[in-house]
Structures are given as C-alpha cells and as structure tokens.
Amino acid sequence: MKKFVLVCLILAGCTAPEVEKESVWTVRQMQGAPAEEPGIEQGVSACYAGVHRGRLLMAGGCNFPEVPAAEGGKKRFYRGIYATDASADSLFAWKKVGELPVEAAYGVSVSTSRGIICAGGTNQNGALSAVFRISLTEKGDAAVIDTLPALPCTIDNMGGTISGHTLFVAGGNVNGVPSNTLYCLNLDKPDAGWTQLPDFPGAPRTQPVCVAQRKGAESLLFLWGGFAGAGEGRKATLSVDGLCYHPAEKRWTPVAAPVGTDSVEVSLGGGVGIACADSLVLCTGGVDKDIFLSALKREEHMKAALAEGNQAVVDSLKAVAKTYMSMSPEDYRFNDRILVYHTSDDRWEEILRYSGTARAGAALVGADGVFYNIAGELKPGIRTPEIVKITVEKR
C-alpha cells in the first residue's frame, strides 16, 4: 500500500471559508477490485461509477483481456454492477449486486441522493442513448434499475455533471460525430425530456472534463480538455483551454486553462474532474497534449493517404502507429498532476504529482473531502484495476 500526505497551504484571497485555511491532502492506493466477470480483474476504463447509501459502485467498462490492443486484440465490454463499503480504510471487498441493461462503457455517470444516473455510452454493437438510474436496496446487497428519458440521440465519450436537480451532458460523439453540444434534463420534471442548450464555442470535444461548481452565489458549468479526430472537412484538434457556461444567461465564457507549478498548460482530455468543497474543482489524469495530438494528426494523414491510394505513405504511417502502440506507459506522459481549480479567482493549483493517477478513462467520484480515482488505462489498450483514494481535510 502506498500513501502520500501533503500539507498544502491554500493561498489567501479567496472568499470561500474552506480555502482560507491550511489543508491536508492524502493520497492512498487502495487494494481490491471486482473479479466476478472473466477478464474484469485486469481493470477497465470508461466505467460508470458513483457513491450511494455509503457504498462505492462500479459498473460496466471495457478492456482487452486476451490479446493486447497493440496486437489487434478485441475490446470486451462488461455488464456487472459491483458495490463495496466506501468507508474502507485500505481494502475493498467488492460484491456483484446486479447487471446493467446491456454491456456498456464511455458514458456519463453522476451520483444523486436517489442513486447513480448513467447516460449514453457505447458497446460492441454501437453507441447508446439510454439513461437509467442505479440504486441499492436498503441492505445494499442488490441493485435496482430505473429508466429515465433517453437522450435525443446516441452520445458517447462526453462529459457530464449535475447541478442542483439538473443533469448536463457536453460534447462527445453525437450520432457518431464529434460535437459541441450541451443537453440537460430536469430531474424534477423528467417527463419533459431533454433540452438542447447553446453549443460551446470552438472545436468539438470528445472526452472532455465537465464539472458544475459554484462561484459565489452562482452555479456554473466548467469544461476543459477534449479532442476530436479529423473528419467532414475538419482537421484533428486537441483542446486545452477552458470554458464556462452560465445557465441563467445561457452563454459561454472562457476560463483559465489547467496549468501546473511550472506554468505549462495541461491537457485534461481523457481525464476526470469533480466538485470539491464550495468553490473548488479537483482534476486528475488526461493525455499528453503533444503526444496525443501527434497521434490524431497521424490518423488524419493516414485517411488522406488511403484516399489518395498512396500505399507507401500508408505503410510508413502504419509502422509509426505500431511503434506508438508499443511504447511503455511512461512514454505517453499521461498527466500525473493532481490539480485544483479555484472558481473564486479563476486560478489553478498543483497539489502534487502522483503516478497512480496518470491515467486516461478513469472515474472520479466521492464527496465531503473523500474521493476515489477508479481504474482507467495506463496506455492505449492497457488497463489497471487500481483505485486511488484522495482525501482533503482542514488542518
């Protein structure tokens, strides 16, 4: 078991009480992972997750359990719903408590008082529009599935968050195409269905980080990271900049891009984020902006060479792609910075650097100063079952 403790003085000047005092951040690698479906013990990425009735839940996800992706392996999607005591100190004892309606991954999941809402995603048969809520019986030994209004289209690899009683999903592949869309569902009036809100500006974003958090008395949506492959006359793009949606005014404005202590901008594409305390956003993981953009551009050049029938270029790019897939995890330089965004003054702070959160496709769930960074991939096609517990306490 690995444990790191950092005493972090949050700089003065912020109005929220929780950031005026010294805080202690603790990072602990937990033990124990789901193992009741063949292959899932190797770890998954893009699972649904949340906390309900004091239980930590994981569901779905995908991996390459037999042949690695670099060798042309087939991706497997999972259906099991697993639960464990969220208050465990260092060891999780997971139990399968039910199954999703279908195998699925790459959707959005948010925790609510009534259960964990899962929206969209994809599996071996294609993208999904289904939305449902996972709750637990009072004993916590069985999952209950309730259906909610389906998305107006299939959406996968999007960002999502909840603000009050409203669920938002942003970006992702909409009917298979990278998008700038923002949809919301009023959970108090679900029969009214989904509403499309103003698109966010700039390039489309798949796998962005989307988090709702307060700034003073206002509840806002924050969007960072994301990328989009080339297509339909559009060049490959990777976004680092941040955007903020103001629900009351239905408008988008720019916010600071993530940066570490070295002031270098960080890509959160493929990373995760969650509201922390009253005015903070905790973010981990994500791909390296330069390495991943080069891979996207290589795919773009490959499509162009195929269209032109230039086999020599195709063969050369395939060789480069094979080398790319065969690199060690460290060579991909996934983001290992645990970052906090201060909504009060549009500022980023690097808490620490920890290799255990340098992942893409992880899940980040929790509340009240206790968060779980769940599974994800260490490199393209290689997953990990590890879970990292992140806590923050006032000193």
Structure tokens at 198: 């103003």
For residue 222, give the nearest of 193, 198, 255 by alpha carbon.
Answer: 255
Measure the CA–CA gap between 363 and 352, rounded to whole angstroms.
19
> What confidence tier does 8 reach under pLDDT thresholds 50, 70, 90?
very low
Over 80: is that where the pLDDT of 22 sits? no
Query: What's the pLDDT tens digit per position in 159-176?
Result: 999 999 999 999 999 999
- How many whole angstroms separate alpha carbon 149 and alpha carbon 120? 11
Crossing angle for the helix pair 289-308 and 311-325, to the nearest 10 degrees: 150
Position 59 scores a pLDDT of 98
- What confidence tens digit (pLDDT) does each residue in 285-303 have? 999 999 999 999 999 998 8
CA distance linking residue 332 with residue 377, whole number of Å:
11
pLDDT value at residue 231: 87
**pLDDT at residue 169, as a whole number:** 98
- Tens of pLDDT, residue by residue over 337-369, are 999 999 999 999 999 999 999 999 999 999 999
Residues recorded for the chain:
395
Alpha-carbon span 186 to 286, nearest angstrom = 30
Instruction: Say if residues 365 and 48 touch (Cβ distance below 8 Å).
Output: no
Domain boundaries defined on the chain: 29-394
Superfamily for domain range 29-394: Kelch-type beta propeller (2.120.10.80)
pLDDT of 94-121, one tens digit each?
A: 999 999 999 999 999 999 999 999 999 9
Q: How far is CA 307 from each of CA 234, 250, 298, 316, 318, rounded to the nearest angstrom?
A: 16, 41, 14, 15, 15
Q: How far apart are CA 145 and CA 319, in angstroms?
A: 46
pLDDT tops 80 at residue 130: yes
Confidence category of residue 233, pLDDT binned at 50, 70, 90: confident
User: What average pLDDT does the chain have?
Assistant: 93
